[in-house]
Amino acid sequence: MPDTVATVVTEWVNVSYAEPTPMREVYGYAGTQGTINVEGIRMLPGNRPSKTLLIFMHPASTLQLLPVPRAMAAAGLHVLCAGSRYARNDTPLIMEKLLLDYGAYVGHAREIWGYEKIIVCGWSGGGSLSAFYQAQAERRTVTQTAAGDPIDLGELIPGDAFIWQAAHLSRADVLADFIDPSVLDENDPTIRDPELDLYDPRNPHQPPYDQAYLDRFRAAQLARVRRRTALVKELLHDIRSGRTGENERGLLTHRTLADPRWLDPTIDPNDRRPGWCFLGEPKASNSSPAGVARFSTLRAWLSQWSIDDSQARALDNAPSITVPLLAIENSADDAVPQPHTKLFLDAAGSADKRMETIVGADHYYAGQPEKLDQAVGIIIAWLRERRLLED
């Protein structure tokens, strides 16, 4: 069990930087008059100075209420939970622009706070974002967004080490595995193919699913994603022609949570709870407004959800990462498909890389304080072995 400290001080952080844009994409003050404002929470153990900062960032969630960063701070580490410009609203989210947000925090940490070591921490959906950032900071290749809009990433400062924890390979990868292929009419989700509807009792294919059915199902999922992408590109081309008088348009995609893994524990087996997913009961989650990729702009679809266009897929970015890498898999994870951690580890360019599995841990360590302590202990020991933390 890691050492704990008596108090943790939380500090609100605001980082601002200039970014001229032809179109407002976020509501409110986050992107006003050519200035981007991002907000985060820095957690400081009251009696422990440090030259090392752990940065947790997610594309659209704020992470300060989640157990992992809080436990790291309670164990004596300096932690920043960095919110993006798209905090709690991923509808217009452009992954490439998140690199600018991330870079602004890293620059602030180095230049204003004086940290000497930055640990890039990719937890959950932050894994692929963090890998995208670290890869581009180490070797710049991106000059435009997935939609073809130019973007200047400037000078991104790479992290000194990378932690991949309970993370998936990308939003595009999970959508391709999660989307419901039974939808026959995108404007009326009640019109469905019962043989491709996992939740329809009329479906003759029930778990455990045979391989032939899984192959058919996965192919239909991919085909639906690609049909949506083709529509997005057609609409975006029409908008760019000037004929419509628009700069952007919204897209609604129904029923996006239907992964056979959730109903069939024999697929990529781990210790997850059968009949359950990270948003609860899968059938109800499938039609919930909170579903994955439910609402999106056209450009955001290409950047974060298109399996063929997103530049933020972790397996594409992993080879460019060369800093020490720690990958942690939770064996009862109900959000991250079981193969993802090992696939990322194998693809990473780091010479110093290690994988650890926390047996029985679920995605959020919910009600599992001993599993959370184990994760914190692994991370601290790994950092100390590499002299990235003060003793």
Picking from 101-105, 273-277, 318-322, which range would have the lowest pLDDT averaged per residue? Answer: 273-277
CB-count exposure of residue 204 (10 Å: 0-12, 13-18, 19+): exposed
CA atoms within 13 A on the CB side of 344: 35
pLDDT in tens, 158-178: 999 999 999 999 999 999 999
pLDDT in tens, 337-355: 999 999 999 999 999 999 9
CA distance 163 to 161: 7
Element (H, E) at 14: strand 8-18
pLDDT at 29: 59
For domain 8-170+311-385, which architecture applies?
Answer: 3-Layer(aba) Sandwich (3.40)
Q: What is each CA distance from 155 to 102, 132, 139, 229, 311, in whole angstroms?
A: 12, 14, 11, 31, 18
What percent of the chain has a predicted confidence (pLDDT) above 90? 88
pLDDT in tens, 86-138: 998 999 999 999 999 999 999 999 999 999 999 999 999 999 999 999 999 99
| Residue spans per domain, the chain | 8-170+311-385, 173-305
> What residue type is 350 in one-letter code?
S
pLDDT in tens, 220-246: 999 999 999 999 999 999 999 999 999
Is the whole model's pTM more than 0.85, yes or no?
A: yes
